[in-house]
Amino acid sequence: MDTLIKNALLITMEEGRQPIENGCVYVEGSTIAYAGSQDGLPEGLKPDDVIDAKGHVCMPGFINTHTHLPMTLFRGAAEDVPLDTWLKDVIWPMEARLNEGHVYWGSMLALAELVRGGVTCVNDQYFFCDAIVEAASQAGMRAIIGRGLSDIALGGVEKLPEAEALFHKYNGMDGGRIRVSICPHAEYTNSVSFLRKCAETAQKLGAPIHTHISETKKEHEECIARHGMTPLALFDKLGCLEGTFMAAHCVWIEDSDLELMKEKGAGVLHCPGSNLKLGSGIARIEKMRQMGIKAGLGTDGAASNDNLSLWEEMSLCSFLQKGVNNTPTALPAEYALHMATSGGAEALGLSKWLGTIEKGKKADIILIDTDQPHYYPRADMRKHLVYCGNSYDVRLTMIDGRVVFKDGEYLTLDIEKIYHSVQKSAEELRV
């Protein structure tokens, strides 16, 4: 199916390219065939659908670089407690009661919230991954999905073959929309020997590695006490940074870690909302920006956020860096928008296909209604989006050329059934 989007304010997120008034995008199947001014649109095109985007911004879909989709089931279950207590006393006991049905419905709820907010790609780490893949496939979401692995806490040794089987079964599914990663949970939940096995497996498969790095000061310092080096340095020593390495949080990484990330091309998955709620700290994203380190935005799971809005993460990210650096010029709005789109694609190793609206890229596109009070008076719309916008401004979400959400209607999800099933699942888990 071919689609023409016309009369939009087109923000392509290509480096150095300014927003285009009266812009249009032509989509052939799942791919962008043209993006630019309407004056330059090739003649003779015969779209199956024409979308008039007057009063709307047309831009790349948001990329949520760090999620635990099924954890929507735990929203509100553990509030105002430290990460260690949050995990050991509440989350892990509830997770022990999970089954595939719970995970499927928790994932479906997360996906509904995400597409409503303009997210077109997620990078997820959890378990019961067959159910997550099924949910993502049905919802039409683009996703990297990996089985969380912990040989100290959760018996990960026998789960590594499961993770490898997951890769062979699903990687490249749905025309490449579903990909699979190797996901050692963190340094403190895994032995050195097992982390080395994870690195070897990822290299053998050509799969990315997705993990948590230096989320808390305690985690960071205890790793140094155990191994004489930081978590990132240990992962590098074990070979984990030789391919695509996706590092969530990075709140407490040191200057030497920053240099290592720059050298190895590793990606930071920054989750400011979760880091604030759990009292973990504030990552040095402005310093990373200045060094040219790849960085995207993530929400983490809904149990530690508590929503999945990249809109909030954008504004938080920018405001926090201005505050901690004592300068309003730190992390400008345009860079926060970059982190939510093209920067996220870079951090996940997907910039060849995603993150900008340009010819040859995948048609992951959102339309944002800016004919609303909080977008007036008109100014630089990129700044307005970051500082004024919210999830409810999204009017259309297209993934791989397929519209999955439009004008408040879910086109791939039965939202009432999801609400009912999630409530039932949550009640079963909280007994």
pLDDT tens string 117-133: 999 999 999 999 999 99
**416 is a domain residue:** no
**305 is a domain residue:** yes
Per-residue pLDDT, 376: 98
Q: Which structure tokens are listed for 132?
A: 């997550």
Length of the chain: 431
Other C-beta atoms lying within 10 Å of the C-beta of residue 423: 13
pLDDT at 154 over 60: no
Q: Are residues 52 and 140 in the same domain?
A: no
Q: Are residues 55 and 74 in the same domain?
A: no
**101 is a domain residue:** yes
pLDDT tens string 101-120: 999 999 999 999 999 999 99
Per-residue pLDDT, 155: 59
Per-residue pLDDT, 90: 85
Per-residue pLDDT, 352: 98
**394 is a domain residue:** yes
Q: Are residues 282 and 404 in the same domain?
A: no
**Which one-letter amino acid corresponds to residue 378?**
R
pLDDT at 49 over 90: yes
Q: Are residues 254 and 306 in the same domain?
A: yes
pLDDT at 281 over 60: yes
* Angle (deg, nearest 10), helices 129-139 and 160-170: 20
User: What are the residues whose beta carbons fall under 8 Å from the beta carbon of 260, sequence distance 6 or more?
Assistant: 232, 233, 236, 241, 266
Q: Are residues 44 and 171 in the same domain?
A: no
User: What are the residues whose beta carbons fall under 8 Å from the beta carbon of 158, sequence distance 6 or more?
Assistant: none
Comparing CA positions, the residue from 116, 52, 141 lying closest to residue 410 is: 116
Per-residue pLDDT, 153: 62
Instruction: Look at the chain and report how many structural domains it folds into.
Output: 2
**429 is a domain residue:** no
Report whether 306 contacts 80 (CB < 8 A).
no
Report the alpha-carbon distance of residue 9 to residue 369 in Å, rounded.
10
Report the alpha-carbon distance of residue 123 to residue 68 in Å, rounded.
8
Least confident range of 81-95, 189-203, 366-380: 81-95
pLDDT tens string 338-387: 999 999 999 999 999 999 999 999 999 999 999 999 999 999 999 999 99
**Which one-letter amino acid corresponds to residue 107?**
S
Comparing CA positions, the residue from 316, 9, 155 lying closest to residue 147 is: 155
SS (H, E, C) the chain: CEEEEEEEEECCCCCCCCCEEEEEEEEECCEEEEEEEHHHCCCCCCCCEEEECCCEEEEECEEEEEECHHHHHHCCCCCCCCHHHHHHHHHHHHHCCCCHHHHHHHHHHHHHHHHHCCEEEEEEEECCHHHHHHHHHHHCCEEEEEEEECCCCCCHHHHHHHHHHHHHHHCCHHHHCEEEEEEECEHHHCCHHHHHHHHHHHHHHCCCEEEEECCCHHHHHHHHHHHCCCHHHHHHHCCHHHCCEEEEECCCCCHHHHHHHHHHCCEEEECHHHHHHCCCCCCCHHHHHHHCCEEEECCCCHHHCCCCCHHHHHHHHHHHHHHHCCCCCCCCHHHHHHHHCHHHHHHCCCCCCCCCCCCCCECCEEEEECCCHHHCCCCCHHHHHHHHCCHHHEEEEEECCEEEEECCEECCCCHHHHHHHHHHHHHHHCC
Q: Are residues 339 and 251 in the same domain?
A: yes
Comparing CA positions, the residue from 202, 273, 274 lying closest to residue 238 is: 202
**25 is a domain residue:** yes
Q: Are residues 266 and 208 in the same domain?
A: yes
pLDDT tens string 224-266: 999 999 999 999 999 999 999 999 999 999 999 999 999 999 9
Q: Are residues 46 and 90 in the same domain?
A: no
Q: Which structure tokens are listed for 415?
A: 């939202």
pLDDT tens string 246-257: 999 999 999 999
Per-residue pLDDT, 218: 96
Q: Which structure tokens are listed for 52?
A: 């008039």
Report the alpha-carbon distance of residue 128 to residue 192 in Å, rounded.
25
Other C-beta atoms lying within 10 Å of the C-beta of residue 115: 25
Beta bridge partners of 369: 56
Report the alpha-carbon distance of residue 315 to residue 200 in Å, rounded.
38
Q: What is the CATH number of the domain that holds 264?
A: 3.20.20.140
Residue with tokens 């995948």: 362
Q: Are residues 338 and 406 in the same domain?
A: no
Quick one: what percent of the chain has pLDDT higher than 90? 91
Q: How confident is the model at residue 306 (pLDDT cuts 50, 70, 90)?
A: very high
**354 is a domain residue:** no
Q: Are residues 278 and 150 in the same domain?
A: yes
Mean pLDDT (the chain, rounded): 96
Q: How confident is the model at residue 84 (pLDDT cuts 50, 70, 90)?
A: confident
Per-residue pLDDT, 431: 66
| Structural domain for 326, as ranges | 62-347
Q: How confident is the model at residue 156 (pLDDT cuts 50, 70, 90)?
A: low
Q: What is the CATH number of the domain that holds 7?
A: 2.30.40.10
User: What are the residues whose beta carbons fall under 8 Å from the beta carbon of 14, sequence distance 6 or more?
Assistant: 342, 356, 357, 358
Q: Are residues 18 and 80 in the same domain?
A: no
Q: Are residues 305 and 398 in the same domain?
A: no
Per-residue pLDDT, 220: 98
**353 is a domain residue:** no
